[in-house]
Amino acid sequence: MTDTDNYGPLAGLMGTWHGSNGMDKSPEKDGLDDKPYYETIVFDAIGDVENAET
């Protein structure tokens, strides 16, 4: 059994994801100010947890 076996359809999200197509559009006095932004998100397996209902 691997760390991702118990995650079902969420297992495909495990890993590091990078986004580089974002554009922040903020209003300015002379029009819109466009600034590109970049994001990184990491999904890790957390292993066993203890549920409050057990």
Following CA atoms 41, 49, 52, 16 in sequence, which dihedral angle do they give, to the nearest 10 degrees?
A: 10
3-state secondary structure of 4: coil
Give the pLDDT score at 3.
63
Q: Please give the Cα distance from 16 to 27 (Å, whole number).
A: 32
pLDDT for 41 equals 95
Strand boundaries in the chain, DSSP class E: 15-28, 31-43
Give the pLDDT confidence of 3-33 residue by residue, as tens digits. 667 788 888 999 999 998 888 999 989 988 9
Predicted confidence at residue 52, as pLDDT, reads 79
